Amino acid sequence: MAVITVRQAISDALREEMERDENVFLLGEEIGVWGGTYAVTRGFYDQFGEKRVRDTPIAETAIIGAAIGAAMTGLRPVAELMTINFAFSAMDHIVNEAPKLHYMFGGQFKVPMVIRTVGGGGRQLGATHSQTPDAIFAHFPGLVVIAPGTPEDAKGLLKAAIRSDDPVLFIEHSTLYQWRGEVPDGDYTVPIGKSKIQRPGKDVTLVTYSKMLQKSLQAADELAKEGIDVEVVDLRTLRPLDMDPVLESFKKTNRAVVVEEGWKSFGVGSEVVSRMYEEAFDYADAPIKRVAQKEVPLPYNQKLEQMALPQVADIIQAVKEVR
Amino acid sequence: MKKQEHLELFRQMVMIRRVEERAAELYQQGKIGGFLHLYIGQEAVSTGLAAARKPQDRLITAYRDHGVAINAGISPEQVIAELLGKATGTSKGKGGSMHMADTEKNFWGGHAIVGAHLPIAAGLALGDQYKGEDGITICMFGDGATNIGYFHEGVNLSKVWNLPVLWVCENNRYGMGTTVERASAVSEIRQKAEGYGIPNERVDGMDVLEVKQAAEKALAKIRAGEGPYFLEIMTYRFQGHSMGDPERYRESEEIKKWQENDPIGVYHKYLIENKKATGKELDEIEAQVEKDVAAAVEFAENSPEPAPEALFEDIFVEEY
């Protein structure tokens, strides 16, 4: 078990898959000569050459459209969208083409494509560059949506995504790249569509994913000092959503908080809490609470931005309220 | 061209015409749902293009796709069954009029969002280029699609990456009910290709042989590694944009004038005058097509609906 960063984990997954399979190639803005704006693909251009590490114009529709077409011919493109905020420019291809083609043509087409992209706030990039719109993409049947929170999951899930025959949106977090964690040695994958208990506990269930996993684990450590034993469930995949570990945990603790970085309205928490009430209403000893981003476009000013983002203190408070 | 090739082109054009006529009837009888966009008047375009391609060349088009499907070699049975939403259709009844395809016949759809299939076509071509195969992607779209961003991103990328694509704009003068002049900054669409440094040509789309020759020339250049090529094919749809189009945007005189140039009539005349076929031979083909289409309609009407289980089939390839 080596300890590496999320950035290294993603980079290793890409490199290993490219070494394993000729048909895996990368395309996106500034991924080649530049080395990737988040430095994930640094060195790839020299190792694999311009055929397999393809710099594109700043043209998101061309990037995703071309990735879909190439995937339909049997290649395994990994398209990078520099940030998830630019995914809106390619929305039709992401939600209206890739997830529909297999179904709509009676199973004839396959789209084994991964779209890697970066979401999240906290870097003072202003409202248009700081969003966590994951829930929008998880709305569409036919599109796998993954958002890992640890180096181990980032590497294993990205490898699984590249090997999957379905289109996958793989959402990384802009402030998580430096987070370190243990990663198994050698080749491994993490199954898509499986939630995971990242910290066992018996008093309160915290359901979360991506960057908010880190904050939830921090909150759990703080709460442990006060004698509150929190179980943290990491969704890891938003579609298909695996509710089993969530429900199992909730049936044990009877109290839950769902934490997400995006806005509360029509968000991931809305979905998860609805399903908990639908399937385990009788187990609730207190109303389930949600922690999410304040309903504002994220401001540039650092203090205001941090006020809008969910913090460890918000999670601690919510846990105490359901306790 | 051998006589048999001529007769086959004629047969395909007549087949498209008859299938479309029957489709209109079935639509009026309420047997076809959704939208129905007929290819009547434009048959020479897809027929000429398909005749010029080699088996390894991919065809991809927009929502006016029944004609291309037939040219690609899909049976009228499967086309009409798809229109009727039957399990025996090209897409098992889950795609409908606008979403027909057959990968075995290198026909890659049938795409209903205007312009969205152009970047996808660039990707298909990238697939062939990447694997070192010599297939070419023939991507058809209407004049209306050349005003949307997808067109510009896809066409630009094809030139930047020197992709083996033949871009084919079917200029039928209208994007739905809006004329080219009212929607496009330039009314000669090929000028847009000029802007991307892509060799281009304007072609008479009512003459199947002219389309075929232009496509053959373009495909040879692309196959020689010269990169994408662009054809603007001048054509006209004799029917409305889709069924139920009130056609307030054009005069019946204009339609009549184009109908004098009916691509099937033009080709019929050519074949007789140049002694490529006799009137009797062509009559026999027409009679056989009538029979084939009648049988296809019967097949489609008697075909089963998709089973209820089909509702949840093919959402994902994998099981998670």
Q: What is the pLDDT of residues A273-306, one digit of tens each?
A: 999 999 999 999 999 999 999 999 999 999 999 9
pLDDT at B244: 86
B164 Cβ contact list (under 8 Å, min separation 6): B125, B128, B129, B134, B135, B136, B137, B222, B223, B227, B228
The CATH number assigned to the domain with range A196-322 reads 3.40.50.920
Q: Taking CB atoms and an 8 Å limit, are B157 and A56 in contact across chains? A: yes
Q: Are strands A53-55 and A76-81 parallel, antiparallel or unpaired?
A: unpaired
CA B315, CA A273: separation in Å to the nearest integer? 25
pLDDT average, residue stretch A54-73: 98
Look at A73 and B153 and tell me if their CB atoms are within 8 Å. no
Question: Would you call B312 an interface residue with chain A, using a CB distance cutoff of 8 Å?
Answer: no
Superfamily of domain A2-183: Thiamin diphosphate (ThDP)-binding fold, Pyr/PP domains (3.40.50.970)
Rounded CA separation A306/A300 (Å): 10
Strands in A168-173's sheet, in edge-to-edge order, are A53-55, A24-28, A76-81, A114-119, A168-173, A144-146, A237-239
Smallest CA-to-CA distance from B52 within B167, B162, B138 is with B138
Four-way CATH pick for B3-305: 3.40.50.970, 3.40.640.10, 3.40.50.920, 3.40.50.261:
3.40.50.970
What region, left, alpha or beta, does residue A4 occupy, with left being phi > 0 and alpha being psi -120 to 50 degrees? beta
Structure tokens given for B133 = 């195969």
Q: Tell me if B19 sits within 8 A of B296, measured CB to CB.
A: yes
Predicted pLDDT of residue B175: 94
Shortest Cα distance from B97 to chain A (angstroms)? 11
Query: Between chain A and chain B, how many beta carbons pairs sit less than 8 Å apart?
Result: 148
Amino acid at B311: L
Instruction: Report if pTM > 0.90.
Output: yes
Q: Report the alpha-carbon distance of residue A215 to residue A218 in Å, rounded.
A: 5
B119 in reach of chain A (CB within 8 A): yes
Asked if B320 reaches chain A (Cβ–Cβ under 8 Å), the answer is yes
Question: Which residues, 6 or more positions from B76, have their beta carbon under 8 angstroms from its beta carbon?
Answer: B15, B19, B70, B292, B293, B296
Beta bridge partners of A2: A183
B 148-207: CB under 8 A from A: 149-150, 153-154, 156-157, 160-161
Q: Is the ipTM of this complex over 0.95?
A: yes
Q: Which residue from A215, A216, A219, A276 is spatially nearest to A251, judged by alpha carbons?
A: A276
Region A46-68 average pLDDT: 98
Q: Does residue A207 surpass a pLDDT of 90? A: yes
Chain A residue closest in CA terms to B118: A65
The whole-angstrom distance between B139's CA and the closest CA on chain A is: 12
Across the interface, whether the CB atoms of B122 and A93 are under 8 A apart is answered no
CA distances (Å), B249 to each of B150, B233, B288, in order?
A: 26, 22, 37
C-alpha count within 13 angstroms, C-beta hemisphere, residue B275:
0
Is residue A164 predicted with pLDDT exceeding 90?
Answer: yes
- pLDDT under 50: residue ranges of chain B: none
CB pair distance less than 8 Å for B116 and A93: yes
Tokens of A198: 């990242």
Residue B174 and residue B258: Cα distance in Å, rounded?
A: 14
Q: State the average pLDDT for chain A.
A: 98
The domains of chain A are located at: 2-183, 196-322
CA of B100: which chain A residue's CA is closest?
A105
d(CA B56, CA B65): 20
Interface test mutation site (partner A, options B162, B318, B319, max chain A beta carbons within 10 A): B318
Per-residue pLDDT, averaged over A212-218, amounts to 98
Maximal CA-CA distance, chain A = 58
Q: Residue A41: is its pLDDT beyond 90?
A: yes
B125 neighbourhood in chain A, CB within 8 Å:
69
**How high is the pLDDT of residue B174?**
94
A290 near B CB under 8 A: no
Same fold, A2-183 and A196-322: yes
Q: What pLDDT score does B196 carry?
A: 98
pLDDT of residue B286: 98
For the annotated catalytic residues of A, the residue numbers are 60, 129
Q: Are B42 and B67 within 8 A, CB to CB?
A: yes
**Chain A residue closest to B95 (CA)?**
A104
Cα-based distances in Å from B225 to B70, B165, B190, B219: 29, 11, 21, 10
Nearest CA in chain B to A90: B150
pLDDT at A301: 98
Strand partners, A241: none
Interface list for A 46-85 with B (CB within 8 A) = 51, 54, 56-57, 59, 61-62, 64-75, 77
